[in-house]
Amino acid sequence: MVRQERAARTRAALVRAAAEEIDRRGYDGTSLNKVINAAGISMGALTFHFSTKSELADEVQSQGSHAARTVADHVTAGSGPALQAVIDLTLELARLLEEDPVVRSAARLARERPGSPAWSAAWLPAVHSLLAQAQRDGQLHPAVLPETIAALVVHLVAGTETYARARSVTTDTARASAVVQLGRIWQLALSGISPREPSDGPPTPRS
């Protein structure tokens, strides 16, 4: 029993150390030697749990996707307005990306390892179904397509990942948290940048 607990702690420390290394240096830049040094664990103990770097990365991705799916399930199960649920989901993802290197590295690994499922597969289906609901409930401007809001969400979450990673290595504490920053951006996206009654029409993208 004590041995099992110790093994579980060792395994968790390895996953955490691997996640921190991968988050900073990427899959290719991560060596198992650096991981065991950071975790203070022997190579023998590592290979007892994970026989290859690939297996260790699989576990990081699995845990990072699980965390995002848990948030998506929780938000989807709520009874509030669907558009608000989409916003809450992205703010929860921002919190995960800010606080949890396992989630940040899972998002990074999904891009860097060919053939692995996108990290967004854990939460994007929930966004699509909530946006369809928001449209049915009249919560969207008639000219706005749910697919475009979904594209905005994907861009904002990717931007948040970049922002949170940069913030994790800086000592500049004056930068707003990823969650606060994203909340401000949503406020702006909901009401719109242009004045409500423009004299000569809002500017539009030309391409």
Cα 34 to its chain centre, rounded Å, is 25
Q: How far is the CB of 130 from its own copies (least distance, A)?
A: 12
Binding its own copies (rule: CB under 8 A), the pick from 48, 66, 159, 167 is 159
Binding its own copies (rule: CB under 8 A), the pick from 49, 59, 163, 168 is 163
Residue 7 vs 118, nearer CB to its own copies? 118
Is 10 a binding residue for its own copies by CB under 8 A? The answer is: no
Is 61 a binding residue for its own copies by CB under 8 A? The answer is: no
Do the beta carbons of residue 35 and residue 17 sit within 8 Å? yes
Is 154 a binding residue for its own copies by CB under 8 A? The answer is: yes
Is 115 a binding residue for its own copies by CB under 8 A? The answer is: no
Do the beta carbons of residue 149 and residue 86 sit within 8 Å? yes
3-state secondary structure of 8: helix
Is 38 a binding residue for its own copies by CB under 8 A? The answer is: no
Q: Which two tokens stand for residue 53?
A: 């770097």
Q: How far is the CB of 27 from its own copies (least distance, A)?
A: 7
Which of 9, 28, 8, 19 is CA-nearest to residue 102? Answer: 19
Residue 12 vs 81, nearer CB to its own copies? 81
Give the Cα separation of 80 and 87 in Å (integer): 11
Helix (H) or strand (E) holding 27: helix 2-29
Do the beta carbons of residue 36 and residue 50 sit within 8 Å? no
Stretch that binds its own copies, among 8-16, 38-46, 110-118, 122-130 (CB under 8 A): 110-118
Stretch that binds its own copies, among 4-12, 40-48, 67-75, 79-87 (CB under 8 A): 79-87
Give the Cα separation of 94 and 183 in Å (integer): 10
Is 111 a binding residue for its own copies by CB under 8 A? The answer is: yes
Give the Cα separation of 140 and 89 in Å (integer): 17
Tokens 């007892």 — which residue?
48
Residue 3 vs 206, nearer CB to its own copies? 206
Binding site for its own copies (CB under 8 A): 25-29, 81, 83-84, 87-88, 91, 111-112, 114, 138-145, 148-149, 151-152, 154-163, 165-166, 169, 176, 179-196, 202-207
